[in-house]
Amino acid sequence: MGQEIDNIVMDEPKVDEMKKKNKKENASWNIVQVSRHPKRPILQDYISHIVENFVELHGDRYFSDDKAMIGGFAEIGGQKIMLIGHNKGKKTNENIERNFGMAKPDGYRKALRLMKLAQRFNIPVVTFIDTPGAFPGLEAEERGQAEAIAKNLTEMASIEVPIVCVVIGEGGSGGALGIGVGDRILMLSNAIYSVISPEGCASILWRDAAFAPDAAEAMNITAKPLLKHGIIDEIIEEPGEGAHTDVKTVAESIKTSILKNIKPLQKLSIDELIQSRFEKFSAMGKFTVNK
């Protein structure tokens, strides 16, 4: 029976033609490509345009300083913040050094250490999400990758200062969620945010990564459907063909949005802040059935 199902899937008529058509016409897949554009701005670009007095802090106090995740004290528009984000590179040697923005447990433990430091000094946390996913290598699993991400999810839910998260490129899987539990989730219009990559989903469902465009469309991983479903709170529009065409304008839009969202959060009491965050994430996935 299993073999028969495999044959039905693999012998579907006009499969190659459908793949080509989907790649050309699928809007979600086009956004996926823009989110991965080699010239797309990374965290360092936004730091240089909108962040002042950035003091990077290193190490997780357990094992190492993961260069795929950076963070430290900073200011945006005069507002003191704790800045944390995935650290991609633009050149091959930079990406190798930073593990293509795929953090290991050390990176997530460093991020949590900095969040608790922000709580101690009562300053908001701003995270920049841009990763294909957490690093899946043997050494990461040996050092507790899943535990590190799970602990971040749990601890971030009760951090006693405002948390604003900005998805600037790829928001992939648990690697994104490890710094993604925020009071406000902002997202660039050509970014993606998903539990799995389109290629990974297609490989599971159709046993063929070439169906990634279909998966991208079905998964609702782009900004508009995510806003509609309440996963994110705001879309930051990009000009032209993507953020790489006008980095300065996009950076200013991100700055304005961050400051706008931090201000009302700072007026909430600790109990109100945590309760609101809890209700926000508890509501995700709820649906109604029309009878």
Tell me, yes or no, whether 182 lies in a domain.
Answer: yes
Q: In DSSP terms, which residues pair with 171 in a beta bridge?
A: 131, 193
Tell me, yes or no, whether 10 lies in a domain.
Answer: no
- pLDDT at position 158, please? 96
Tell me, yes or no, whether 27 lies in a domain.
Answer: no
- pLDDT at position 25, please? 58
Residues 6+ apart with CB under 8 A from 174: 133, 134, 146, 149
Residue range(s) defining the domain that contains residue 188:
38-196+220-277
Tell me, yes or no, whether 224 lies in a domain.
Answer: yes
Lowest mean pLDDT among 23-32, 75-84, 275-284: 23-32
What is the pTM assigned to this prediction? 0.88
d(CA 225, CA 240): 21
182-213 pLDDT tens trace: 999 999 999 999 999 899 899 999 999 999 99
Given pLDDT bands bounded at 50, 70 and 90, which one contains residue 7? very low
**What percent of the chain is predicted at pLDDT more than 70?**
91
**What percent of the chain is predicted at pLDDT more than 90?**
82
Number of domains in the chain: 1
Tell me, yes or no, whether 15 lies in a domain.
Answer: no
DSSP category for residue 56 = E
Tell me, yes or no, whether 26 lies in a domain.
Answer: no
Tell me, yes or no, whether 201 lies in a domain.
Answer: no
CATH number for 260: 3.90.226.10
Average pLDDT over residues 174-185: 96
Tell me, yes or no, whether 246 lies in a domain.
Answer: yes
Given pLDDT bands bounded at 50, 70 and 90, which one contains residue 281? very high
Residue 33 burial class via C-beta count within 10 angstroms: exposed 0-12, middle 13-18, buried 19 and up: middle
Give the residue from 131, 178, 149 showing the smallest Cα distance to 36. 131
